[in-house]
Structures are given as structure tokens and as C-alpha cells.
Amino acid sequence: MDSRHSGFESSFLDFERGIRVGHLEPHQRITQILKRNLQRRFKQDFVVDRFGRGVYWQWICFLPRANRSVKPISNRRNFASSKFFIMVDRAQQLFKTGLQVERGFLEPPPQWESCRLAEDWDWNQLIARLEGPLYQRIRRFCRTERFHIFAGSWDSPHEYSPGQFPSRGQLVEALVGIAPGEWSAFQLYYPMKKEEVERTPGDEMVEAIMAIFCELTPIMNEIMSVRLD
């Protein structure tokens, strides 16, 4: 599906309710549009997951099925794999597009034992690679492309703008210094304000999202077991 001929409208990104996916035709749904564009671009299948229910979802992700499938322990766990994501942050009034890597729990509640961090999660590769060249690549990326970072737990995150980029030690500490019973994640994303979203035609918005995903692919490839070409 060519984004120039999709039925997506930027008004489907609602800063009060979330990303509209319900009561739409398939060619209008951002889930269908982005999945088809990703599969055509990278010549492999993607899994779609989301946070939300009903007509509006707050967060939607797209992860390469092949990268999940090669995991010997966690091949049925979407949260073990790196993913592209989009979300409407209603609190910050921002639309975010980027990549996400999750840690899960070190000490999960009994009902969430399946969300315990295992040795084959991409999170482990992220932390290990930050000790090498990956940190400098992310740093240059943020400063030249104006990307932002979310690091830590959902309840008490560390958020870094391009002008307040953390040292390597600060970033690692923000990621590994989270309580064992809290869920944590790393996001590298590009933010768009409500006014910018509202004046961007739907087809151009789809193209912008895809361009961001493609920009982030080299960094994502350093963390995953299966590359996107």
C-alpha cells in the first residue's frame, strides 16, 4: 500500500482520546497501513501489538516476527523484542514515533511470571552494547536529528531532550537502576506537537512515520538478533 493513496487522516491522532483504529475501513487504519509499508520495505512479516482497547488506542507497536521467532525462550513474548512504535502522549500532548526496548520485571508479581526478564530478551543486548559504540551513535543521532530519550520505569522515567543528553553512566544507571518489581523500557523517539500533527496531511504523516522508522533501523539492528535490511 502506497502511503500517498492511504485513507489515513491526521485527525485520527486524537490528543484527548488516543489513536483512532475503530469504526474505520481497513485502508484507513494506521495499523494496516504501517504494517503493509513495513513488510514491503523490509520484505519480512511484522507483528502488531497495542496498549488500549475499543475505538482509541494509546500505543501501537510493530515488531519483526523473525527476531521474535529466533528467541529460544521468549519466542511467544512480544515484549522481549525490539519494536517500532507510535503513541499519543496525552499528558505531554505529543505524538511520538520511535523504537522501544523493554526490560519487564526482575521480580514479577505471581500473575506476571511470564514477564520476567530472560536471557534472550533484546534488553540485554541494549545494555551490553551501550558499553561500546552504540552510546555514541545514539548521542550523535539525538543531537543531529533532534530525537528524545525515555529511560526507566513507566511511573518514574528519566526523559532526555537533545540539549540535555545524559552521559553514558547516567543513561545506563537510568536503565538498570530500576526497582526489580517495576516494568521499565528504553525509547528513542521523535516528538511532534499537536499543532504540527494537525497541519500535516494524512499521507504525509504516514511518510514521516516510515521515514523515522527507517532512520532508526541501524540502531535497532545493533540490538536485535535478526537484521532489517
What pLDDT tens digit does each residue of the chain (229 aa) get? 455 567 999 999 999 999 999 999 999 999 999 999 999 999 999 999 999 989 999 999 999 999 999 999 999 999 999 999 999 999 999 999 999 999 999 999 999 999 999 999 999 999 999 999 999 999 999 999 999 999 999 989 999 999 999 999 999 999 999 999 999 999 999 999 999 999 999 999 999 999 999 999 999 999 999 999 8
Which residues constitute the domain of residue 23? Answer: 3-223
- Please indicate, yes or no, if residue 228 is contained in any of the structural domains: no
Q: What is the CATH number of the domain that holds 182?
A: 3.30.930
User: Which among 87, 24, 100, 86 is positioned nearest to 55, based on CA atoms?
Assistant: 24
Closest CA relative to residue 209, chosen from 218, 219, 200, 222: 200
Please count the structural domains in the chain: 1
Sort 226 into a burial class: Cβ within 10 Å, 0-12 / 13-18 / 19+: middle
Whether 76 maps to a domain, the answer reads yes
156 found inside a domain: yes
Class of residue 11 by CB neighbours under 10 A (exposed 0-12, middle 13-18, buried 19+): exposed
Tell me, yes or no, whether 133 lies in a domain: yes
| 229 part of a folded domain | no
* 66 belongs to a structural domain: yes
